[in-house]
Amino acid sequence: PYTKLSSDNLDNGFVQPPPLRVRLICELVGTCLFIFFGAGCATKTDNLLTVSAAHALVTVWLVYVFGPVSGGHFNAGATIAFAFDGKMKIIEVFGYLIAQAAGALLSGALLLALYGTGTTLGTPGLQPKVTVMHGFAIEFLCTIVLSFVICFTTAYNKHKEAAFPIGLVVFSSFLLGADRDGAALNPWRWLGPAVASGTYHSEAWIYAVGPIGGFLVGYILFRLYKWSWNFNRNTQFLQV
Amino acid sequence: PYTKLSSDNLDNGFVQPPPLRVRLICELVGTCLFIFFGAGCATKTDNLLTVSAAHALVTVWLVYVFGPVSGGHFNAGATIAFAFDGKMKIIEVFGYLIAQAAGALLSGALLLALYGTGTTLGTPGLQPKVTVMHGFAIEFLCTIVLSFVICFTTAYNKHKEAAFPIGLVVFSSFLLGADRDGAALNPWRWLGPAVASGTYHSEAWIYAVGPIGGFLVGYILFRLYKWSWNFNRNTQFLQV
Amino acid sequence: PYTKLSSDNLDNGFVQPPPLRVRLICELVGTCLFIFFGAGCATKTDNLLTVSAAHALVTVWLVYVFGPVSGGHFNAGATIAFAFDGKMKIIEVFGYLIAQAAGALLSGALLLALYGTGTTLGTPGLQPKVTVMHGFAIEFLCTIVLSFVICFTTAYNKHKEAAFPIGLVVFSSFLLGADRDGAALNPWRWLGPAVASGTYHSEAWIYAVGPIGGFLVGYILFRLYKWSWNFNRNTQFLQV
Amino acid sequence: PYTKLSSDNLDNGFVQPPPLRVRLICELVGTCLFIFFGAGCATKTDNLLTVSAAHALVTVWLVYVFGPVSGGHFNAGATIAFAFDGKMKIIEVFGYLIAQAAGALLSGALLLALYGTGTTLGTPGLQPKVTVMHGFAIEFLCTIVLSFVICFTTAYNKHKEAAFPIGLVVFSSFLLGADRDGAALNPWRWLGPAVASGTYHSEAWIYAVGPIGGFLVGYILFRLYKWSWNFNRNTQFLQV
């Protein structure tokens, strides 16, 4: 999930930008499905490749399908970073966050119905020998990369084209972190299963602070990257 | 499998829509191959990633190859949902269903010849601790998503482009369900191996009712989604 | 490997069709690399997904890179089927077959240098409980599908676009057969490792007769498919 | 990583070629991320498919994102081969190499922070029964193929299109070598983890000589390939 919202990217033959209500539906459904298929697989298996594939594949098709409509955030970090960009109104920012939270809670309920109690429903958690700082570093570093790549690819590509590289970054990140800190990369990915299964650990703040901080830093790095292009005015971006 | 049939999508340089006999051949062959490669892999292994990949990969290339001709249903659920849409004639609907059923039975015969008796030939079935309602929920929920994504992607893309995200939804769904209820998502996926291997369980109705119901609900949700766009006439779809 | 040779498909900005010597280089190198990476992985592991991925991935990039030049056969079955089509001269057919055989023997020598004696170097062979007829059926059926899909996709797409679905058919076929009869799908895939490792079994004819027969039948089925389109002249292909 | 730098390939809507400072940033960041995600996965697991996927996936998205800016070398072998081509200035060659080395050392530091001491941090090394010559052959042969494919694909395609086949060659190469000699294919892939973990073996020269030699030979083979096209002037390349 998590691509940049831009009124310029009117893929899919729309004559006007999508209305807010439609975008909120997409954010709610997309966040729900990301957690449903991701955590739903992580509930059953701890095979690193399988769990990473599950999160990456759902990311690709969600961004492909919903990206052209809502921007495909599905992530509080992405929404806050783009709010920072100044292209979203306050009402939009809060709408996105509330829709995403509702989607996360809905997915938790679905997972609870499907797997019952007695499991963490794929709630991310630190594995043995992984310290809180290690877990925070994984969340923070991977979402910096994810945020930078989302800014980069959606600046020059349509969402449908960006879906594949963005999904691959998610794949790489989960291969790095899924068997270490559970690799949320997304506060909602933690929230949904955690609330539904009643799994709370004192270190759970890393799944909120890490991704939101990482998305902001990634966004700032992308601004710096663009600034370095135009530094001496010899070169200019055609777009962005 | 399972993309939307539309006479607008004349990919592949056709000057006229394909004749019905050609489309029925594609549905028969496609349904047969989907089950042959999917169940043929599930007969041998219960590795979650391997079985899920087998069903997803065959979906991608079948929709890519046959989608532009027949719409690439290969699924009673898809055909019934599109019949509901009013774009298929009665003769087409029955032709599609009969061709698909014939393909399913043919694939069952091929699998029986290849693996012999003494195996279920990959017939989907409930795993221990998975209740009938859990199995039904997996079939129902995953096909709602599949149906919605098929409607969504084929409304705005050529079949060749839609083949990849549709295959990924199948991948996600099998990662969720393949080791729980066997994840048919398709009545024929159950029928072919079940008839050939003589595997009947009382709960087998979930593999017919779940996918057909899910496809109908997914189709209705897509209509609602489109209706919500045009609700107050400020925004319009260019296509669909 | 194995896409259709056509002077119409002048991808890659060529102003004239490639000269025969260049095409023979591509066939030799491509056949060598297909076996080198495919059998080189099968020598080490019998994990079904890993071995299948190894053969599929190399197919995709070989067809992508060399397909626009030589047609990307890399397979005696493909060359004989296209010779049947009448579009190749006798000298081309023999040149292709000799180049492919040389590539296969070269890859066997490379594998022998890399792994030494005491292994079959990934030579395909029947697993326990798999009869000769089962093995033949896998080779024959999978290459029928492969041949049909190659004809189908290269008739309507550039080689670069066809590379992905063709590679996926190879993936599906190996998921079906790699742990049953070793899944050559290609006489050279058997020849190279077999000669280098001195592995000969009496049933090895299935790896020659199966793929060559399958490619011919797949080609004939595609002709029948096209004939069924144009049967009553109401519909016509724009291309092919 | 490792695609060809060409001022002709101005993807991404740039009105001028990127300034050197921006390209150096991309090389530093890209080399760092390739090693971070590749070696970061190899530190934890020796599953052949998982490790190979980790290196291939990060290659695809790095070339997709940074390829249009810096050419996406991320590899001393690629830079030296392209320097040989005469299209890079001396200052560019040294800049690229220094930026890549800095990225490699940075990734090593990140991995050390994440995994601590007591591990090789995924430093490539010879497995039991694999001789130094076997290891050198794997590095040398795979980078010949990689270099040839990079020259081939970037000569006729945009970097975004070339990213996928290039990543697949990396995938094939790691499936061949990751469980034999660790498959660096890149001097920096060895340097970063080796320095950070203090892992030095006498045979480590193969990870520098193999890839650099392989890239040069692959580049020369591509020049020979092009020369064979134009040998008798009947056929010409439109491009390159």
Domain span at residue A200?
Answer: 20-230
Alpha carbon of C33: minimum distance to chain B alpha carbons (Å): 23
Nearest to A196 by CA among A122, A128, A136, A130: A122
Give the pair of three-digit tokens for residue B151: 């409607």
Per the structure, the count of domains in chain A is 1
Which of C34, C37, C63, C174 to probe the D interface (max D CBs under 10 A)? C37
From CA D42, how far away is CA D131, in angstroms rounded? 21
Mapped onto helix, strand or coil, the DSSP state of residue C237 is: strand
Which residues of chain B are within 8 Å of residue A60 when distances are taken between CB atoms?
165, 168
| D72 vs A: CB within 8 A | no
Q: What chains are in contact with D, requiring at least 3 Cβ pairs below 8 Å?
A: A, C
| B46 vs C: CB within 8 A | no
Nearest to A182 by CA among A41, A85, A86: A41
Q: What was the pLDDT predicted at D16?
A: 60
CB atoms within 10 A of CB D10: 15
Residue numbers of B between 165 and 224 with CB closer than 8 Å to C = none
Question: Taking CA A226 as the corner, what is the angle to CA A240 and CA D9, rounded to the nearest 5 degrees?
Answer: 75
Q: Which amino acid is at D44?
A: K
Assigned domain for B239 exists: no
Which residues of chain B are within 8 Å of residue A110 when distances are taken between CB atoms?
141
Assigned domain for A61 exists: yes
CB atoms within 10 A of CB B230: 13
Interval A16-43: pLDDT, tens: 678 899 999 999 999 999 999 999 999 9
Contact B64 C153 (CB under 8 A): yes
Contact D49 C53 (CB under 8 A): yes
In the predicted model, what is the mean pLDDT of chain D? 88
Contact C49 B53 (CB under 8 A): yes
From CA C13, how far away is CA C68, in angstroms rounded? 10
From CA A68, how far away is CA A47, in angstroms rounded? 32
| B17 vs A: CB within 8 A | no
Three-state secondary structure string covering chain B: CCCCCCCCCCCCCECCCCCHHHHHHHHHHHHHHHHHHHHHHHCCCCCHHHHHHHHHHHHHHHHHHHHHHHCCCCCHHHHHHHHHCCCCCHHHHHHHHHHHHHHHHHHHHHHHHHHCCCCCCCCCCCCCCCCHHHHHHHHHHHHHHHHHHHHHHHHHCCHHHHHHHHHHHHHHHHHHHCCCCCCCCCHHHHHHHHHHHCCCCHHHHHHHHHHHHHHHHHHHHHHHHHHHHHCCCCCCECCC
Give the pair of three-digit tokens for residue A203: 């270190």
B161 CB burial (10 A radius; 0-12, 13-18, 19+): middle
Assigned domain for C185 exists: yes
From CA C92, how far away is CA C82, in angstroms rounded? 11
> How far from each other are the two terminal CA atoms of chain B, in whole angstroms?
21
Contact A64 B165 (CB under 8 A): yes
Question: Taking CA B161 as the corner, what is the angle to CA B160 and CA B162, rounded to the nearest 5 degrees?
Answer: 95
Which residues of chain C are within 8 Å of residue B57 when distances are taken between CB atoms?
168, 171-172, 175
Assigned domain for D202 exists: yes
Which of B11, B12, B29 to probe the C interface (max C CBs under 10 A)? B12
Interval B144-180: pLDDT, tens: 999 999 998 888 778 888 999 999 999 999 999 999 9
CB atoms within 10 A of CB B80: 21
Which residues of chain B are within 8 Å of residue C173 when distances are taken between CB atoms?
37
Q: What was the pLDDT predicted at C114?
A: 95
Q: What was the pLDDT predicted at B239?
A: 37
Which of C29, C61, C119 to probe the D interface (max D CBs under 10 A)? C61
Which residues of chain A are within 8 Å of residue D40 when distances are taken between CB atoms?
175-176
Q: What was the pLDDT predicted at B240?
A: 31
Interval A61-116: pLDDT, tens: 999 999 988 999 999 999 999 998 888 999 999 999 999 999 999 999 999 999 99
| B114 vs C: CB within 8 A | yes
Assigned domain for A73 exists: yes
CB nearest to C168's CB, from B13, B36, B57? B57
Alpha carbon of A168: minimum distance to chain D alpha carbons (Å): 6
Contact C175 B37 (CB under 8 A): yes
Contact C225 B22 (CB under 8 A): yes
| C106 vs D: CB within 8 A | no
Q: Which amino acid is at C123?
A: T
Alpha carbon of D68: minimum distance to chain A alpha carbons (Å): 11
Alpha carbon of B117: minimum distance to chain A alpha carbons (Å): 31
Alpha helical stretches, state H, D43-186 = 48-70, 76-84, 90-115, 132-156, 159-177
Assigned domain for A135 exists: yes
* Helices C48-70 and B48-70, packing angle to 10 deg: 40
Mapped onto helix, strand or coil, the DSSP state of residue C177 is: helix
Quote the DSSP letter at residue C43.
Answer: T
| A64 vs B: CB within 8 A | yes
Q: Please tell me which residue of chain D has the smallest CA distance to A146.
A: D61
Contact D234 C44 (CB under 8 A): no
CB nearest to D54's CB, from A165, A175, A228? A175
Query: Rounded to whole angstroms, what are the CA distances from C70 to B101, C31, C86, D155?
Result: 40, 12, 16, 17
Give the pair of three-digit tokens for residue B114: 């290849």
From CA A194, how far away is CA B23, in angstroms rounded? 48
Which residues of chain A are within 8 Å of residue B149 when distances are taken between CB atoms?
61, 65
Give the pair of three-digit tokens for residue D211: 């890839």
Contact C235 B13 (CB under 8 A): no
The backbone region for D70, taken as left when phi is positive above 0, alpha when psi lies in -120 to 50, beta otherwise, is: alpha
In chain D, how many H helices and how many E strands? 8, 0
Alpha carbon of C144: minimum distance to chain B alpha carbons (Å): 11
Averaged pLDDT, groups of 10, chain D, 240 residues long: 38 65 94 98 96 97 92 95 89 97 98 94 94 96 96 83 94 96 95 95 95 96 86 46
Task: For chain D, state the CA radius of gyration.
Answer: 17
Contact C137 B61 (CB under 8 A): no
Q: How many CA atoms lie within 13 A of B12 on its CB side?
A: 26
User: Could you list the pLDDT tens digit for every one of the 240 residues in chain C?
Assistant: 343 333 333 444 455 678 899 999 999 999 999 999 999 999 999 999 999 999 999 999 999 999 988 999 999 999 999 998 888 899 999 999 999 999 999 999 999 999 999 899 999 999 998 999 999 999 999 999 999 999 988 887 788 889 999 999 999 999 999 999 999 999 999 999 999 999 999 999 999 999 999 999 999 999 998 888 776 554 444 333
CATH assignment of the domain containing C121: 1.20.1080.10
From CA A149, how far away is CA A2, in angstroms rounded? 10
Q: What was the pLDDT predicted at C5?
A: 37
Which residues of chain A are within 8 Å of residue B151 when distances are taken between CB atoms?
none
Q: What was the pLDDT predicted at B86?
A: 83
From CA D209, how far away is CA D193, in angstroms rounded? 18
CB nearest to D228's CB, from C25, C45, C47? C25
Q: What was the pLDDT predicted at B146?
A: 97
Q: What was the pLDDT predicted at D4?
A: 36
Assigned domain for A151 exists: yes
Which residues of chain C are within 8 Å of residue B54 when distances are taken between CB atoms?
172, 175
* Strand residue runs (E) in chain A: none
Give the pair of three-digit tokens for residue A20: 């807010």
| D69 vs A: CB within 8 A | no
Ramachandran angles phi, psi of D14, nearest 5°? -80, 140
Interval A143-160: pLDDT, tens: 999 999 999 888 877 888
Assigned domain for B30 exists: yes
Ranges under pLDDT 70 in chain B: 1-16, 231-240
Contact A229 D19 (CB under 8 A): yes
